[in-house]
Amino acid sequence: MPGWAACDAIARDAFTLAQLQYDLTTFERFVIHFPSLQNQATGGVATGSKIFFNSGLSHSQWTNFNGSWFVVSFMNGDLGVGLTLHELGHTYFAGHPTSDHSTLGHSSVWQVSDGDPISPYGQIGEWGDKYSPMGQNRQNITDFPPSMKVQLGWMPASKVLTVTASGTYRVYRFDTLTASLPVAAPLALKIRKDVNKTYWIGVRRTFAGNASMSNGAYIVWKMPVANAYMGIRQYSVLLDCTTPGISVEDAALAIGKSLVDVPAGITITPVREGGTAPNQWMDIRIRKY
């Protein structure tokens, strides 16, 4: 398979056969699965996710068939829930198939080597967020970050509180469907850092075996990232708040600990947690100066 054009041809061949029994326009997503294709890399770039189609990996793109655009995911080898969820996540385009700027990117991590979780010398670590299906997580308990949920329309923007002044703000967990919360209860806090980056603060509580994420605040940057294979995408970038550069197992910001961003004039401090499952919450003190 020399490249994405061949994937396009395979998709059209599959559609030609499938349309004999199905109305293709009644489906939103298509998956073409190969048991195993060893070392098959895309020779070009696609208008979809532009992921290298290597052994065990996957690829998504738009395919034009009889004048209509269809979203196709090619799954190589692994057809598990985690990888399927990840790859289908790339197929949720907010714009036209030829525009990548609003397309879902990866859940990555801000990789640092100087002990500063927001180091200006840090770099994007692709797929580094082990708590998100758009990162490394392949478990059934995983959930998309709040910024991605809003981007996809899965969480109302009204459930995100934009912080513009110092204060203590209560935020409820976002990774449950069974909570009974007040209508106005925020599921995320959002604070502008600079022209490109925005802090998103949330509460994850499905990782019961992880003491850090079960008791701390989940903090990411939402930021545009230029990827050689995917164009410009909106990424969710995990901040490793406890042992930056060492392990994301304790990435959450613990109660009583502060994340200090001097250039932006922002300090974030979780001060308490409460509520019983599935209605847990955290109070987050924000200082803007």
Produce one character per residue of 251-285: b if its CB has 16 or more CB atoms within 10 Å, e if not. bbbbbeeebebeebebbbbbeebebeebbbbbbbe
Say what the pLDDT of residue 25 is. 84
Distance CA 19, CA 56 (A): 29
Q: What is the pLDDT along the chain (289 residues), one digit of tens a residue?
A: 435 567 778 888 888 999 999 998 888 788 877 776 554 443 222 333 333 343 334 556 667 777 777 777 777 666 777 777 777 777 775 443 333 444 667 789 999 999 999 999 999 998 899 999 888 777 777 888 999 899 888 899 999 999 999 999 999 999 998 777 878 899 999 999 999 999 999 999 999 899 999 999 999 999 988 766 556 778 899 999 999 999 999 999 999 999 999 999 999 999 999 999 999 999 999 999 9
Q: Which helix (H) or strand (E) holds 15?
A: helix 4-18
Secondary structure letter of residue 139 according to DSSP: S
Q: Which helix (H) or strand (E) holds 266?
A: strand 266-274
Distance CA 161, CA 167 (A): 12
Distance CA 213, CA 248 (A): 10
The predicted model scores a pTM of: 0.83
